[in-house]
Amino acid sequence: MKLAVTERLVSLDIFRGLTIGAMILVNNLRTWSDAPRFRQLVHAQWSGCTLADLIFPFFVFIVGVTTVISLDRRLQKGESRPRLYKAILIRAAVLFFLGLVTGSWFIVGWLFQSLCPPVVTQKSIWAIFLSPPTDTNVWFFSLANLRIMGILQRIALVYLAVAILVIHTRWRLQAILAGALLLLYWGLMSLPGFELQPGKDLGAFIDRAVLGEAHMWRTWDPESLLGTLPAIATGLAGALTGHWLRSQRDGPRKLIGLLGSGVLCIVVGWVWGLVFPLNKFLWTSSYAVYTAGFALIFLGFWYWLVDLRRFGGIWLKPAIWLGMNPLLAYCGSQILFIALHTLYIGTVTQHTHLIAVISQALFGVNWDIIGQTAWLDPHWPAMVWALLCLSFWTLLTGLFYRQRIFLKI
């Protein structure tokens, strides 16, 4: 069976939707930071790779696939390159700004803290916007401690680089550049004088010199400037996949290519990880290859099931809803998370945060209503809360989908 290159890939929407859903689930498990959690839904403490560690590279991989599909269609319509450049730059800038607003919690966090200050301070809200109060040790969101890099910021930079390369180069050169970036990063991170430890690697050194420690996550940043290089390689892996899916090959051959490449990447990434460990925080070259392999297999499965076998149903709708409105789900869930942990009921000196009010109402003394003592283990209310958050954003995107409202850049 041959899939027309102009036909929409529903499998890609499902892939994106499931990735968004997994992100919401994992992020909201953090509500109970001291509670035992499900091991595969927590990021590895340093080196290693859990299911949670696949989510971010899946996002970046999807960006590469969709960039090729989108730009190819616009070029086929005869759109001029200056107009494409303008659209690419605007989209990258908006993504980066949204990262500062929601991902870095800066503007949203500052607004919420203006309504509900964590402690009494003499500074006005506008003074706090520029710099945090010095008369308290409590964290305040301000321009002086704005975290510059983040998830959406990295995605913006990857998109910018991949989009420009897709316009100006063919797939063979893109493959060569992806491999060159991974080898270059491996060489740079192996330079003497640096270690693959938190805050001791070359990426952290560059971030402290360029961004300043006040504008980083900690003394190091998991979305480092240098770490964007292998992330671009992940985006290029997605771009190569997009070229493959846009080709005139028949569906079964495309499927074999996706699955075969996926298995090869997993093996190569795992072997490479023996000398350059799998590490999400550093986005090591082995991690980039390893996670791209899983992305290929995951996409291949849905491509076979939905686009080739034409298997669908109501049970796939939630993933499609999320996949068609990823910005709404991601940014909205981030804003809600900040609100619940920043806004409170009471006074500045004596208050209870909204998340505590909700958790007490849902998981207080009446939580174990079925008499099963195992439910008292704190990782269960954490999971139930995460599932409630996921359900809320799934239903909301479903409502938007029904009204044909899609938040796009």
Coil, helix or strand for 369? Answer: coil
Tokens of 49: 């790779």
pLDDT at 241: 97
- Predicted TM-score (pTM) of this structure: 0.91
pLDDT higher than threshold 60 for residue 70: yes
What residue spans define the domains of the chain? 1-42+315-409, 49-105+147-311
144-166 confidence digits (pLDDT tens): 888 999 999 999 999 999 999 99
pLDDT at 282: 97
Q: Alpha carbon of 37 to those of 27, 366, 390: distances in Å?
A: 12, 22, 17
pLDDT higher than threshold 70 for residue 377: no
Cβ–Cβ < 8 Å for 409, 89: no
| Degrees to nearest 5, angle at CA 312 with 299 and 309 | 65
How far is Cα 19 from Cα 69, in angstroms, rounded to an integer?
19
pLDDT higher than threshold 80 for residue 32: no
pLDDT at 372: 47
340-373 confidence digits (pLDDT tens): 988 999 888 888 888 888 887 777 665 554 444 4
pLDDT at 144: 87
How far is Cα 350 from Cα 348, in angstroms, rounded to an integer?
6
* Residue position matching structure tokens 């952290």: 204
User: Sorting pLDDT into bands at 50, 70 and 90, what band is 378?
Assistant: low
92-118 confidence digits (pLDDT tens): 999 999 998 886 677 888 888 888 888
pLDDT at 103: 67
